[in-house]
Amino acid sequence: MILQMGDVFVHISSLKIRNFRNFQKANFIFKEGVNTIIGANGSGKTNALYALRLIIDDSLPRSSTNLLDTDFNRSLSNWRGHWIIISLHFDNLSNDDSSQALVFQGTHTTDNSGSLNLYFRPKYEVRKRLFEMSDEYAEDKDIFNYLSSLKINQYESVLYGRGSADFSQDEVYTKLVGDFTNYFFPNPDEEDSSLLGTPANQYVFKNDFACTYAKALRDVIGDLKNPRTSPLLRLLSNLNINDSSIETVSDTIKKLNSHITNLAEIKELADGVSQSLYETVGYTYAPRIQINSNLSDDFKHTLKALSIKAGELASEDYIGDLYEMSLGGANLLYLALKLEEYNRLDHEQNKAAHFLLIEEPEAHLHNHIQKTLFQKYHNHENTQIILTTHSSHISSSCSLDSVNIVYIGNECCEVSQPSRGLDDDDVRRIERYLDATRSTLLFAKSVILVEGDAEIILIPEMVKKAFGITLDEIGVSLINVGSTQFTNIAALFSEERIRRRCAIVTDNDISIVPLEDGTYEDKEFQKKCKQSQDSGENRKQKLEEFCESNSYISAYYATNTFEVELIKQGNKNIIESVIRKDIYTRRGDQDRSFGKINSSDLSIYGKEILRLADKEGKGWLALAIAARLDKDVIIPDYVLKALAFVASLTADHIISIIEYHLGEEYRSFYDKVKLHYGENPTDTEIIDLFCSSKDNIVTKFLAMRKEEDIVCSCLTL
């Protein structure tokens, strides 16, 4: 038994996966207590939990570790010869004999760390043959042909303890598994046990773990009614009911059977059937019949007849069938049964480690219930909880240092830890921000950080009007920081943390009035502009230093302010419409205000738009402008550049943008493309001709994409 040390219990400190399903190589980091794996649909959350279960969950059938060729990561050009490796590292192991089967070799037992490694690999004779062929310098084509002949039944699944090899490192994988480029393979007779570990009995170790798994809640009512999947039946079957009670129930059922069988109406029916038989075939050939009640008096069988009835609210008296419950209510009931299953497992068995795995508990649950449910998980002492979610209400309630983010890469899923390398103060600030805003920041494919309401309202609408697509369609999340303290949030994005692009959009606040002009009338405004400019210069310097060595972050600046840039780059007609239809009712006020906006003097139109923003409120003015936008809106260059840096564009996206922008002209444009390239032009050819023959906001944006050198691999703009 791997017993706990005092009040400290064994827990999983990391899960490392190589070549399994979505994961080509991945490293999850876990803490004691509650851990969260977050990510979008299809990112690999379920597969990560299944990898854990293959080692620690005794409810899985023994055959579950006999993997299939489809379990290999698809980034492998050929799975044959490769290994699937799932490694669990444990902390707080005790000093007993069972623990020592896990403790890393060559370490002192006081380190209390160890591992279990599941290897799905070619059998010994295959590995030996590969070594012999490479040792004998066989032709590459012969080794290739041998590998190509391998079948999945030539693989084995083995569990090893005490291994220290980190198979997420390519050089380690090549050394211990093989070099599939140069066709060199190690000798299986000379395995390094300090790296690979030593054989361990999987079923003995699973007995040391208490693992309860609550699957994703997709058809809860069906699961509750199905004897094979019902957590209620599992709870009932594990009840320790004394023999006398069982005997009493059995006797009662036998008496009930006898009572039903001997009902006069039942006997009369049996006699009637017998009489019909006699009249049909005669007494000689007619079978003798009885109608009996056969309710099973086997107690275990009787338990299967028990079912749950429930009401939607505890305050209501009505109790009904499960099908009458809401999806959210049924899901809560399912979770409650799984938690009770875990609690009974915890109290009734002396286990070394207690694991509760919960998959997407948020399904059909109200936002407040999601957060409350997550907070209640922390009440389970001496238990490590690992749950998956794509709910921002749950993720925003997590400790950042217990979060793993999974996201879809080019051919496989990647894993990152958003708190890695951050100091405690940085982590706490980010946690407070996430908790206060319920931000989707951790789920974003890419991010643009803005400082206020005007940007958060107008940028999505401008993109939609100008390009005919939404930010969501191109994988961009717009996040309002609510200040100019961008670095607190932007620090999340880096090679060692969240490997996603983050653009910072802010104002440089260069003065719109001449600061050295002693004759300028509005001295107070001039002073205010000077202060803003000084702050802007200081902010830009700090941001440039912050972004300098991080390829995932880039800052983009309005020369003055966002509102001023809207006018400077050609949206005066939209502002005029807002002035005349939303701000002023009197013609004189309208003309006076727009006269200033229409000025070519920055100090005049700049001051007026800032006055209007102050008068109406930046957010309300932005809402009014958003309502007046059309497809001719001009997005400021610095915002376009930020969008070019972060957007996930495919050829389909760009063709869609071109079609939207050209409108009815697209048909004639497409005819020109066919004249130029032939009857069936490619997307790239369509885009090339558009970029070479047009000069508009779309071609400007695509040119910015090219400058960023992040154009989709399918394009050659």
Spatial strand order in the sheet of 23-29: 23-29, 11-20, 84-91, 113-122, 155-161, 198-199
Q: Report whether pLDDT(332) > 70.
A: yes
Domain ranges of the chain: 1-227+342-437, 231-284+297-332, 444-635, 649-708
Residues facing 113 on adjacent strands = 91
Q: Report whether pLDDT(368) > 70.
A: no
Q: Report whether pLDDT(94) > 80.
A: no
pTM comes to: 0.82
Q: Which two tokens stand for residue 19?
A: 């070549």
According to DSSP H, which parts of 304-419 are helical? 327-348, 367-377, 392-395
Residues facing 406 on adjacent strands = 415
Tell the burial category of 143 from Cβ atoms under 10 Å away from its Cβ (0-12, 13-18, 19+).
buried
Residue with tokens 């058809």: 219
- As a whole number of angstroms, the distance between CA 49 and CA 357 comes to 7
Tell the burial category of 518 from Cβ atoms under 10 Å away from its Cβ (0-12, 13-18, 19+).
exposed
Q: Which of 99, 78, 71, 87 is nearest to 146 (CA)?
A: 78
- For residue 440, name the pLDDT band (cuts at 50, 70, 90): confident
| 490 touches 449 (CB < 8 A) | yes
The tens digit of pLDDT for each residue in 127-173 reads: 999 999 998 877 899 999 999 999 999 999 999 988 899 999 999 99
- For residue 83, name the pLDDT band (cuts at 50, 70, 90): very high
Q: Report whether pLDDT(3) > 60.
A: no
List own/partner pairs for 133-138 with CB under 8 A and 24 or more apart.
133/183, 133/185, 134/178, 134/183, 134/184, 134/185, 135/187, 138/183
Least confident of 76-85, 189-198, 207-216, 280-289: 280-289
- For residue 96, name the pLDDT band (cuts at 50, 70, 90): low
C-alpha 599, offset from chain centre: 50
pLDDT of residue 99: 53
CATH class of 1-227+342-437: alpha beta
Q: Which two tokens stand for residue 602?
A: 């920055």
- As a whole number of angstroms, the distance between CA 40 and CA 486 comes to 25
Q: Which of 530, 509, 533 is nearest to 518 (CA)?
A: 530
Mean pLDDT, range 440-468, rounded to an integer: 93
- As a whole number of angstroms, the distance between CA 574 and CA 567 comes to 9
Quick one: what percent of the chain has pLDDT higher than 90?
52
pLDDT of residue 380: 66
pLDDT of residue 170: 95
pLDDT of residue 354: 82
Tell the burial category of 126 from Cβ atoms under 10 Å away from its Cβ (0-12, 13-18, 19+).
buried
Nearest-Å Rg of the Cα atoms of the chain is: 34
- As a whole number of angstroms, the distance between CA 147 and CA 192 comes to 24
Residue with tokens 């996930």: 648
- For residue 624, name the pLDDT band (cuts at 50, 70, 90): very high
pLDDT of residue 489: 92
According to DSSP H, which parts of 548-664 are helical? 562-568, 572-578, 587-597, 602-616, 618-627, 637-646, 651-662
Give how far Cα 189 sits from Cα of 109, 131, 383, 440, 552, Å: 28, 10, 40, 51, 46
The tens digit of pLDDT for each residue in 482-520 reads: 888 899 999 999 999 999 999 999 999 999 888 876 777
Least confident of 258-267, 292-301, 659-668: 292-301
**Three-class SS state of 715:** coil
pLDDT of residue 333: 78
DSSP 72: B
Q: Report whether pLDDT(385) > 80.
A: yes
| 198 touches 160 (CB < 8 A) | yes
How many helices (H) and strands (E) in the chain? 29, 16
Q: Which of 21, 24, 69 is nearest to 167 (CA)?
A: 24
**Three-class SS state of 416:** strand
